[in-house]
Amino acid sequence: MTTSPARHLLASLAGIIVLAITATLVASALGPASERILTVFFISLIAVVGMGVYSGNSGILSFGHLSFMGVGAYVSGLLTLPAQMKMATLPKLPDWLAAAETGFFSAILIAVVVTSVLALIVGLALNRLEGSAATIATLGLLIITHGVIIGWRDVTRGSQSFFGVPRETTLWAAAVFCILALIAARLYRDSVSGLRLRAGRENAIAAGAVGVNIRKERLISWVLSAAIMALSGALIAHFLGAFSPKKFYFADTFLLLAMLIVGGMSTVTGAITGAVTITLVTEILRRFEGGFNLAGLEMPAVFGTTQIGIGLIILFAMFRKPDGLAGLKELEERFFPGHRVDPAQTVTAGAVKPVDPTPLQGQNLTMRFGGLVAVRDVSITVNSGEILGLIGPNGSGKTTLLNMLSGVLAPSEGTVRRGDTDLTQAKPYEVANHGIARTFQNIRLFDTLTVYQNVLIAALSTKNGERAVERCETAIQAMGISQFAGSDANTLSYGDQRRVEIARALACEPRRVEIARALACEPSLLFLDEPAAGMNREETDDLMATLQKLTGDLGLGVLIVDHDLKLINQLCDRIMVLNEGAEIAQGAPEDIRKNPAVIEAYLGHS
């Protein structure tokens, strides 16, 4: 299934095909020199989108992808190299490989499969790393692969040129494969896996909390991107006919990365924009590099003009367009509206399923951060059908307790159980899959995705994605945010001055989106960390009415943290009070109000 409206995808795919075919026809008409340039451009573009499939969607820059291009080139080259040629240039090749002589397309296919398997193995290890550690590890991969190619002389001819590969890559072959690679990248971006990965890129903790297993999605994109790199490698090998390990090392890594970053790595549009820009600039500057005549004035040759030009473009892009020239949206996403949700439809009581009545139990939970004990031996039970309030002064450990219950933090001591299931060491996505959803004190939305996509991810990533669209739309309607479904989450951002001026009431929208996202998991227990923070009285009352209706209709168990004592008193069946990490009181709202320890804790801090 695709996660953006079908018209986005259709426009995108049609655009790609028309552009590529037009360019091919024009280049064919202009002659062999243009054909050469365009063929190399198509092959580079395949590599750039290949890198983008991983780096763009995961947000992790990779320096290692040219390894896969190299593997693709050598594997396919070894397969198509005529047997006699192999006997002459690679006498020590194993017999089965020496005898192998396949056609161009079978060689490409085998190269892609072999590279994908290799990428899977490397990816399983590399996937354990996050952020810049992962990036540095990819650099290690590039260096190791280069070393292996140079060292494995019997098979690769070492640092010498690997030559005699049949020149089978025609302009049309490059064009067709480029179209296929672009379509694959665009479809992946909008696939369930792609959307989850982009959510993880925007906010890893929030993605985990709605059931996304980021490592799994990252591995999928890593292998797919390696396969696309292998395709690019096989094509360049059969275009050049001869190449050496240098071709798949630093220089080209930086050139292709420059294309990706200048264009904008999170979109296919960006990859195309970057590849076109850098190729054009390179082609133009190269003509001036050897000196030129300017209105009768002889300009001297300046070596390095091309490199300086590319450097300046990167600088310009980073200063003026840090997200790349194409920005964060595909071209067609700017023109066509996103998903719409009909606000009139409301949740029908008949459609509501009974929720899992098993309570969640935290037993003797303690959390230490170095010497600081943030939560001290607290036991808590969250029942379905009940609203439990958690209050206490700032820094009393409320958020930390909630983090332990939802898998964001592993407790230093104590256990978290739901019925027979031990959730003490469970990952956030596993907790989400046990019917526990949450929101965050500091709002965590997937900023560059639409409100609809923010909520859809939650529905797709829990309960095996069953009835995902229905759950997504129901949650959006229930929270009264239907009119924002197609907007980007970051346009609703909290405290945005323009929005505040236009309509003060809209400032609470991000909180509502977050709650809708949690509801789309169709949870049986819902944790809300200061959902009314920053809201005025009217908005708070409005939110309270919505929450009351939801819990009444759905029978949800709710754990709510808030400083607004009026809200807590009116909403909650039971209240638990923390102070300096320890529980100081628990009971019905009227008892808590009169409790001397509670009064002391609150007065002592204000």
Contacts with ligand ADP, residue ranges (CB under 6 A): 369, 372, 374, 392, 394-400
DSSP string, 221-287: HHHHHHHHHHHHHHHHHHHHS-B-GGGGSHHHHHHHHHHHHHH-TTSHHHHHHHHHHHHHHHHHHHH
CB of 390 to Mg ion, least distance (A): 10
Query: How far apart, in whole angstroms, are the C-alpha atoms of residue 72 and residue 234?
Result: 5
Residue 82, number of CB atoms within 10 A of its CB? 12
Q: Measured from the CB of residue 233, what is the shortest distance to ligand ADP in angstroms?
A: 44
User: CB of 369: closest distance to ligand ADP in angstroms?
Assistant: 3
Q: Indicate the residue among 118 and 206 with the shorter CB distance to Mg ion.
A: 206
Q: How far is the CB of 367 from ligand ADP (least distance, A)?
A: 8
Per partner kind, with CB cut-offs from 5 to 8 A, the member of ligand ADP, Mg ion, none near residue 392 is: ligand ADP
CB of 593 to ligand ADP, least distance (A): 20
Q: Which is nearer to Mg ion, 547 or 561 (CB)?
A: 561
Q: Which is nearer to Mg ion, 55 or 403 (CB)?
A: 403
For residue 24, the partner it binds in Mg ion, ligand ADP, none, with Cβ less than 5 to 8 A by kind, is none
> DSSP string of 526-538?
EEEESTTTT--HH
Nearest of 535, 567, 576 to residue 391 by alpha carbon: 576
> What is the SS3 string spanning 168-208?
CCCHHHHHHHHHHHHHHHHHHHCCHHHHHHHHHHHCHHHHH
Nearer to ligand ADP, 394 or 606 (CB): 394
In the list ligand ADP, Mg ion, none, the entry touching 161 (Cβ below 5 to 8 angstroms by class) is none
50 binds, among ligand ADP, Mg ion, none (CB under 5 to 8 A by kind): none
Query: Which residues of the shown chain bind Mg ion in the complex (CB under 5 A)?
Result: 398-399, 441
Nearer to ligand ADP, 351 or 372 (CB): 372
Query: In terms of CB distance, is 146 or 398 closer to ligand ADP?
Result: 398
Q: Provide the residue type at 534 as one letter.
A: G
Residues 39, 41, 47, 52: is their CA dihedral positive or negative?
negative
Q: Report what 361 binds from Mg ion, ligand ADP, none; CB cut-off 5-8 Å by kind.
A: none
Instruction: Kindly list the strands in the beta sheet with 372-382, ordered across the sheet, starting from the edge strand earlier in the chain.
Output: 372-382, 360-369, 413-418, 421-422
**394 is in the binding site of which of Mg ion, ligand ADP, none (Cβ under 5 to 8 A by kind)?**
ligand ADP
Nearest to 206 by CA among 466, 513, 473: 513
d(CA 99, CA 92) in angstroms, rounded, equals 12
* Closest approach of Mg ion to the CB of residue 529, in Å: 6
Q: Which does 369 bind (CB under 5 to 8 A by kind): Mg ion, ligand ADP, none?
A: ligand ADP
Residue 96, both tokens = 């089965």
What the block records as the tokens of 329 is 């949206």
List the one residue out of 69, 245, 67 whose CA is nearest residue 161: 245
Q: Which helix (H) or strand (E) holds 587?
A: strand 582-587
Nearest to 525 by CA among 574, 478, 558, 572: 558
Residue 555, Cβ density class (10 Å: 0-12 exposed, 13-18 middle, ≥19 buried): middle
- Least Å distance, CB 367 to Mg ion, is 13
454 binds, among ligand ADP, Mg ion, none (CB under 5 to 8 A by kind): none
Shortest gap between Cβ of 355 and ligand ADP (angstroms)? 27
The option from ligand ADP, Mg ion, none interacting with 400 (CB < 5 to 8 A, set by class) reads: ligand ADP
Shortest Å, Cβ 382 to Mg ion: 17
Least distance from ligand ADP to the Cβ atom of residue 475, Å:
26
Partner from Mg ion, ligand ADP, none binding residue 395, C-beta < 5-8 Å depending on class: ligand ADP
Q: Where does residue 473 fall: left (phi above 0), alpha (psi -120 to 50 degrees), or beta otherwise? A: alpha
Cα distances (angstroms) measured from residue 11 to each of 5, 20, 116, 362, 559:
10, 14, 30, 51, 45
Q: Does an H or E element contain 558, and which? A: strand 557-561
Cβ proximity to ligand ADP, 115 vs 400, nearer residue: 400
User: Which is nearer to ligand ADP, 392 or 523 (by Cβ)?
Assistant: 392
CB of 601 to ligand ADP, least distance (A): 12
Which residue, among 433, 458, 435, 436, has the nearest Cα to 445 in the 3D structure?
458
Residue whose CB is less far from ligand ADP, 263 or 362? 362
| Residue 587 interacting partner from ligand ADP, Mg ion, none (CB closer than 5 to 8 Å by kind) | none
Nearer to Mg ion, 278 or 401 (CB): 401
Which residue in the shown chain puts its C-beta closest to Mg ion?
399
Residue (349 or 603) nearer to ligand ADP, CB: 603
Output 316 or 369, the one with its CB closest to ligand ADP.
369
Query: What is the Cα–Cα distance from 546 to 480, expressed in whole angstroms?
Result: 9
Shortest approach of ligand ADP to residue 396 CB, angstroms? 4
Give the separation between CA 249 and CA 256, rounded to whole angstroms.
Answer: 11
- Bridge partners, residue 293, by sequence: 298
The nearest distance, CB 426 to ligand ADP, in angstroms, is 19
Specify which residues 540 forms β-bridges with. Answer: none
Cβ closest to ligand ADP, residue 282 vs residue 441: 441
Q: Which is nearer to ligand ADP, 348 or 394 (CB)?
A: 394
- The site partner of 603 among Mg ion, ligand ADP, none (C-beta below 5 to 8 Å per kind) is none
The interface partner of residue 503, options being ligand ADP, Mg ion, none and the CB cut-off 5 to 8 Å by kind, is: none
Give me the least distance between CB of 584 and ligand ADP, in Å please: 13
C-alpha 134/C-alpha 117 separation (Å) is: 20
With CB under 5 to 8 Å by kind, the binding choice for 266 among ligand ADP, Mg ion, none is none
Q: Which are the contacts of 376, defined by CB distance < 8 A and separation ≥ 6?
A: 366, 397, 580, 581, 582
